[in-house]
Amino acid sequence: MQKLTQLLDQARAKGWEIEEAHGNTWMVVPRTEFKALLAGLKEQGWNYLADIVGIDYLEYPHPKPERFCVVYELVSLPGYKEGDGSRVFIRVYVPESNPSLPSLTDLWMGADYLEREIFDMFGIRFEGHPDLRKILTPEDLEGYPLRKDFPLGETPTLFKEGRFIDPDAFRAGLSGNKGGMTGWRGGSRKGYQDVAAEVQKVVKGGN
Amino acid sequence: MVRDPQKLHSASVEAYDIADAPELKSEVMTLNVGPQHPSTHGVLRVVVDLSGEQILRLTPHVGYLHTGFEKNMENRTYTQCITYTPRMDYLHSFSHDLAYALSVEKLVGAQVPPRAQAIRVMLNELSRIASHLVFLGTGLLDFGALTPFFYAFREREAVLDLFEWVSGQRFHHNYIRIGGLKEDLPPEFLGEVKKFIVQMPARIDEYEALFKESPIFYERARGVSVIPAEDAINLSLTGGSLRASGVNYDVRKAYPYAGYETYQFEVPVLHGGDIYDRMVIRILEMRESVKIIQQAVERLEALGPGPIRDPSPQISLPPRHLLETSMEAVIYHFKLVTEGFHPALGEVYVPTESARGELGYYIVSDGGSMPYRVKVRSPSFVNLQSLPYACKGVQVADMVAVIASLDPVMGDVDR
């Protein structure tokens, strides 16, 4: 774990935040400096990019500097050349106003799909990626599904004579609150008439 | 044939030096394969640009099986999420259960009893054997060899019967719980496992004889679609495919989990990096898995009966008989079933070795009873991006063999 110790010393000298928990180590690196840092690390034998994780901290209870965060997981691969098995998570915060990061595809070919997945799921653009397309979701799907403000997909239930129940509105009508997993937040049911009125309101509102 | 990684995304005949047959240089033809194609191992669609019969560029299109497991898991309690995990990699589903449970156990600080650890290791290796058998059977089927398919599925059926016996289901076991297991092994189960591992080494020799010595297979697979070690690491390739390129990286040895450090086994490494070595290495890995199962069975017999779950009532359901005598047990039961447990704020990642490579769950907890964010580092998804590289310059007839040798499971790719 010599490489990890060296890297952490470097981070402390620069004043970057270090988090340690459950045997993993995180390092918070400014967005402007991380590409140069990773290019340097690759030269030093951090040869394997294990994963890239996108996180949306919109509803996170603990305040974070920016809404989005991209975590790069770097490993100095044990069993290859002088690799010693160090593993570090490099955290880069990305602001909502300009969700973009420099791409790592010129350093690691393996960053290709991982960056495309984050672009697909969170809408974070990777500048310099040669083929930045959606990868998992259908082409006609709008929005970025893993963002916290994207609703969990539900299909309106269609009944006879054109009557249908829009799940979100149905739950809103039941509880008066934003729908959660069941939508029930305590209190009594309002009854079907009110729900129907709610649904009509939603339908007429062009939603 | 020059395979410059920087040119992976361009497809003109001039960009590639087809040295061996310049007179065959022709117009680029684009061919669509899949998504419904018998030899693409699920719903994988690839678009290949061909010059004659040589592949200039290959573009995989994935996502046909995308079901949004990660989004769903953000809206289910930690225990409910176990329903989703085995459905990703349906061939080695136990590995997903285990990887998920290990991550959550670190978050909540659960202590898994030794008996449960040994059972987990035993079943994980059994599941790995079943997965490798499907790999061999269908992989050789893609070469046109029909017989190994039936042989491999005979043994796989035996493993699936064991799983059905222990968990009630053949594919989606849901046998793991956070902090342990759903229930103990049925009586006489170890005896059946012993019968299986007694006959398995001879069967593995049989499979090996079916293809390894065959000159037809050798000519077809040796030296085709070579991935050198340097590029394999650069492509984030893991698992058997990486070890076939000469890199000794097995998570069970490098970052031991679930007590793997206490078992004696070797990590087979081959150096060819071609289809042949990628097929053969799975045979060698099955032999090591049999060794691990042997040791786990011996350990279980030595341990005898014991707890199979973390005793903490905040994590595991209380035993059934307590519900009739203890009010406290009823309260804990009610809390766990309706709400689940609340891990502390934080993030965690535990790497594990699935039959396909490094598998891990990156879990973000916001202190609630549902994970705030789950990211599956699924080996098939990451390994699949080696496909354009591995197929470059390969004959179009070998394409399905290259896909088979990288062993993607599309449920694991698309999640």
Q: Give chain B's residues under pLDDT 70.
A: 1-26, 38-40
User: Which segments within B117-235 are labelled E, that is strand?
Assistant: 176-177, 180-181
Amino acid found at B196? F
Determine, yes or no, domain membership for B36.
no
| Segment B171-220, tens digit of pLDDT | 888 899 998 898 889 988 999 999 999 999 998 998 888 888 888 888 88
Asked whether residue A107 falls in the same domain as residue A191, the answer is: no
Say yes or no for a CB contact (<8 Å) between A62 and B72. Answer: no
What pLDDT was estimated at residue A4? 84
Q: Does residue B92 form part of some domain?
A: yes
Cα of A89 to nearest chain B Cα, Å: 10
Q: Which residues of B touch A49 (CB under 8 A)?
A: 236
Domain count, chain A: 2
CA distance B301 to chain A (A): 32
The answer to the question of residue B155 being in a domain is yes
Residues A7 and A72 in one domain: yes
A15 with A96, same domain: the answer is yes
Co-location of A122 and A172 in the same domain? no
> How many domains in chain B?
1
Give me the domain span that covers residue B80.
69-385
Which helix (H) or strand (E) segment holds residue B377: the answer is strand B373-377
In a domain, A187, yes or no: yes
Of all residues in chain A, the one with the smallest CA distance to B64 is: A136
Yes or no, beta carbons of B373 and A55 under 8 Å apart: yes
A19 occurs within a structural domain: yes
Strand partners, B33: B46
The interface predicted TM-score (ipTM) is 0.85
Find the CATH number of the domain harbouring B172. 1.10.645.10
Residue B410 maps to a domain: no
Assess if residue B377 is contained within a domain: yes
Report the residue of chain A nearest B61, measured CA to CA: A135
- Kindly state the helix (H) or strand (E) to which residue B286 belongs, with its residue range: helix B275-303
In a domain, A43, yes or no: yes
Of B8, B107, B254, nearest to A78 by CB-CB distance is: B254
With an 8 Å Cβ cutoff, are A47 and B66 in contact?
no
Q: SS3 helix, strand, coil % of chain B, rounded to 5?
A: 50, 10, 40
Structural domain contains residue B64: no
Supply the CATH number for residue A80's domain: 3.30.460.80
Is A176 inside any structural domain? yes
CA dist A22 and B93 (Å) reads 25
Query: Same domain for A111 and A193?
Result: no
A135 assigned to some structural domain: no
Residue B8 lies in a domain: no
| B413 within 8 A of B378, measured Cβ to Cβ | yes
Cβ distance B364 to A108 less than 8 Å, yes or no, reads no
Does A136 reside within a domain?
no
CB contact under 8 A, A50 and B377: yes
In a domain, A15, yes or no: yes
Domain that holds residue A50: 2-127
Residue B27 one-letter amino acid: E
Please check whether residue B357 lies inside any domain of the structure. yes
Name residue A72's beta-bridge partners.
A52, A90
User: In this structure, which amino acid lies at residue B125?
Assistant: E
Q: What digits encode the pLDDT tens for the residues A85-100?
A: 888 999 999 999 999 9
**pLDDT of B48-86, one tens digit each?**
988 888 888 888 998 888 888 998 888 888 888 899 999
- Of the candidates A87, A106, A127, which is a domain's last residue? A127
Q: Which of A73, A110, A136 minimises the CB distance to B385?
A: A110
Distance CA B390, CA B176 (A): 36
**Inter-chain CB proximity B63 and A138 less than 8 Å:** yes
What would you measure as the largest C-alpha separation in chain B, in angstroms? 86
Q: Is residue A97 part of a domain?
A: yes
